[in-house]
Amino acid sequence: MTIPAIYGRVPSLLASQLSLRALNHTNLDLLRTSEQLATGLRVGKGSDDPVAASLIGSLDSELELSEQRDRNLSHGDAVLSSVDASLGELSDMVLEARSVASSQVGIGSDAGTRASQAEVIGQSLTQLFATINRSYAGIHYFAGGQTGANAMETYYGGYRYLGDRDGLRTDLGPDLEFPITVAADLAVGALSARVAGDVDLDPVLTSDTLVRDLRGPTEGKILGILEITVNGATTLKVDLAHAETVGDIADLVESTIRDQAPGVLAGAYPGGVAIAGDRLQILVAGANTVEFADGPTGETASALGLSGTVFNLATSTTLGVAGDLNPRVTERTLFSSMAPGAAAVGDVTFSNGNRQGTVTTDPTMTVGEFAEAVRRLDLGIRVEVAEGGDSINIVNETAGLRMSVTDRAGSSVASALGVRTFMSTTPVTALNDGRGVEIADGELDENGLPDASRNVDFEVTLSDGSTFTVDLVPADLASVQAVVDKINAEWVASGVGGGFVASINPDTNGILFEDAAGGTSMSVRSLNAYAAEDLGLLDGATSAIAGGAQLAGSDRSTVRVESLFSSLSELQVALETNDERGITFAGERLEADVERIAEARALVGTRVRRVEQAREQLGASQVLDRKIKSELQDLDFVEASSRFSLLQTQLQAALQVTAQLRSLSLLNFLS
């Protein structure tokens, strides 16, 4: 503490105050230094060093965030590592199953051996089910985002997925935008399969049709102000931004015209703006004209198919595609509103595995009510509106079970909806899970010469014992109806009597043989290749009918979920039934399962590695942040100890000087 030069004399009071201030300052520094030595911190509060305190606060926030992210990364690493380990087990299991399938084809295998191997595959199915339902810390990591419950459940002999297609996400950092759990399809393949409706149901436009359900020119456009020009002069405006239905639009447009331009529209309200097919209809009276244009907001006229047309007595709708509002199928669509009239009334039979149920439709039923009725059958089948909005799909949600959809006797609803799984138009290539039908064609004898007898596919024995053969060629395999036509043609060409006819079974899916030969049963014998088997004729049911017999072939157009569960289930059945061809097919499907799991492991392994790298980088960042924080906040004990000692010496000196100053008297000053 220095004494200002302005003081020519130093009174005792001033000297005392200056000495006291110096002592207080030194004592305060000693207190701060002793506190720092006690806490080990250079900056204990903001006032100690405001700049450093601000930086320390920022570093604390960053460290807190990084510590939480590190916990997230640690948790994500553990979950993904569990997924990776489970996929590794599944890979080993599938490789073993494929080995079993390969070993049970050809010489060296018999029914007993295959039956014992079927038990091995059954254990593999049990292992697969348990693995898919595994959890880590309560998280079922194959259930997608629905991690609180099992991913799969057993369902009447099949397996149904309970999770969703997304995954559980957590904050792993800006560069790690992927979930830490996966859907089961990553490991087992498809979770469902569908028969896609192939009929445009083309629902009619009604006043209750929602604006958001319109396609055509409306799709993707926003309704707003509609400008209406009457007789080329008067322009009216109406705001349709809040119209919810087509009826709302018609009412608003008609009321605006009738209120502001009376007599322009024909008839009385309502009726001047109506619906004709899938278009809005403007009914103009006399020689009046009405035109529409987009207003300052929205694309209203073009969206409603009204722009570009002068409406008058002769022209009430916009022609062509521009005027077709083309409503989509929704859950609210009535069966009576859909184009195929046959879709309104009848019975649809659904089968999945060994269970089946029937839904009866009527004109007042909606698509949503139809879907709910199917759900209540509890068959593991779901109805959904196709993404394009033109049709509906029937979805098999159960792996290991085969679904079929057919019309009940006297009904054609499934066919009209385009969802019957076996129809005359069904491509032969779609039968037998896409394998089609294997025919004998172009076969040669031992000398390399064409041999017609080697190309005959099967023989049909009528109920009176007479027979005829069928030789299918590739040209006959365009559709199921083409095959049926060829069989009928072969019977005619054979000259055999008996009133034989082949057709599509109207009651169940499959090919139906009927004759009037007077017997009680019919049969089919395979001669070459597998056409009879692939067409479902070898395991068909024969029975007597009036005047003869019939043979109802089995359904070879069922809908199967392409899943590892299905592959193993089918391999198990093929081994149990000593079906070598079925074992071969199941083994081929397992090849695809092996590849899929390998790809899944690669994907998950990549995620694990990225998480590990992120943890390493985050750890390095945390070390640097803590180092900087320590340099700003932590005490240098050597420097502080030296400073403390210096302050003690300074205090001692100050006390001595003060004591000497206080001992001086007036005589000392005068002398």
pLDDT value for 473: 94
Average pLDDT over residues 358-375: 94
Average pLDDT over residues 12-36: 69
Domain match, 238 and 150 both = no
Q: Tell whether 35 is covered by a domain.
A: yes
pLDDT value for 411: 84
Give the residue with greater pLDDT, 9 vs 452: 452
Report residue 588 CA to chain centroid gap.
27
User: In the numeric block, which tokens belong to residue 333?
Assistant: 């669509």
pLDDT grade, residue 234 (50/70/90)?
confident
pLDDT value for 669: 58
Note the pLDDT tens digit of each residue in 616-647: 887 888 788 778 766 666 666 677 677 767 76
Domain match, 628 and 605 both = no
pLDDT value for 652: 74
pLDDT value for 460: 96
pLDDT value for 156: 94
Average pLDDT over residues 239-247: 91
Among 62-76, 560-574, 635-649, name the most confident range: 560-574
Q: Tell whether 55 is covered by a domain.
A: no
- Angstrom distance (rounded) from CA 216 to CA 362: 28
pLDDT value for 56: 66
pLDDT value for 125: 96
Q: Tell whether 94 is covered by a domain.
A: yes
Domain hosting 657: range is: 12-50+621-670
Q: Tell whether 226 is covered by a domain.
A: yes
Contact 407, 349 (CB under 8 A): yes
Lowest mean pLDDT among 174-183, 424-433, 456-465: 174-183
Cis peptide before 270, with omega less than 30 degrees from 0? yes
Alpha carbon of 55 to those of 40, 44, 68, 119, 480: distances in Å? 18, 13, 20, 68, 78
Among 208-217, 517-526, 623-632, name the most confident range: 517-526
Report residue 577 CA to chain centroid gap.
36
pLDDT grade, residue 583 (50/70/90)?
very high
Domain match, 490 and 405 both = no
pLDDT value for 296: 87
- Flag whether pLDDT at 511 surpasses 80: yes
Average pLDDT over residues 24-40: 69
pLDDT value for 109: 83
- Flag whether pLDDT at 439 surpasses 70: yes
Domain match, 125 and 170 both = yes
Domain match, 233 and 266 both = yes
Q: Tell whether 429 is covered by a domain.
A: no
**Percent above pLDDT 70 for the chain:** 88
Q: Determine the number of helices (DSSP H) and then strands (DSSP E) in the chain.
A: 15, 24
- Flag whether pLDDT at 379 surpasses 90: yes
pLDDT grade, residue 10 (50/70/90)?
low
pLDDT value for 664: 59
Looking up residue 119, the CATH number of its domain turns out to be: 1.20.1330.10
Domain match, 31 and 119 both = no
pTM value is 0.81
Average pLDDT over residues 609-616: 89
- Flag whether pLDDT at 15 surpasses 70: no
Domain match, 477 and 507 both = yes
Q: Tell whether 198 is covered by a domain.
A: no
SS3 of residue 158 by DSSP: strand
Q: Give 349's strand partners.
A: 358, 406
Q: Which amino acid is residue 426, in one-letter code?
A: T
pLDDT value for 625: 76
Of 402, 421, 440, which one is at a domain's C-terminal end?
A: 421
Give the residue with greater pLDDT, 512 vs 649: 512
Domain match, 72 and 119 both = yes
Q: Which amino acid is residue 160, in one-letter code?
A: R
Domain match, 531 and 645 both = no
Average pLDDT over residues 240-269: 90
Lowest mean pLDDT among 204-213, 550-559, 596-605: 204-213
Average pLDDT over residues 25-30: 70
pLDDT value for 323: 78
pLDDT value for 560: 93
Of 523, 540, 557, which one is at a domain's C-terminal end?
A: 557
Give the residue with greater pLDDT, 411 vs 561: 561
Q: Tell whether 346 is covered by a domain.
A: yes
- Flag whether pLDDT at 477 surpasses 80: yes
Among the listed residues 257, 222, 251, the one whose alpha carbon sits nearest the alpha carbon of residue 237:
257
3 state SS for 80-145: HHHHHHHHHHHHHHHHHHHHHHHHCCCCCCCHHHHHHHHHHHHHHHHHHHHHHCCEECCEECCECC
What mean pLDDT, rounded, does the chain reach?
87
Average pLDDT over residues 309-335: 86
- Flag whether pLDDT at 370 surpasses 90: yes
Average pLDDT over residues 298-317: 87
Note the pLDDT tens digit of each residue in 277-286: 888 989 998 8
Domain match, 413 and 347 both = yes
Q: How many folded domains does the chain comprise?
A: 5
Domain match, 215 and 305 both = yes
pLDDT value for 55: 79
pLDDT value for 47: 67
Average pLDDT over residues 81-109: 92
pLDDT value for 544: 93
Note the pLDDT tens digit of each residue in 404-437: 999 987 788 998 999 999 999 999 999 999 999 9
Average pLDDT over residues 120-131: 95
Radius of gyration over alpha carbons of the chain, in Å?
Answer: 43
**Percent above pLDDT 90 for the chain:** 50
Q: Tell whether 427 is covered by a domain.
A: no
Domain match, 519 and 551 both = yes
- Flag whether pLDDT at 660 surpasses 60: yes
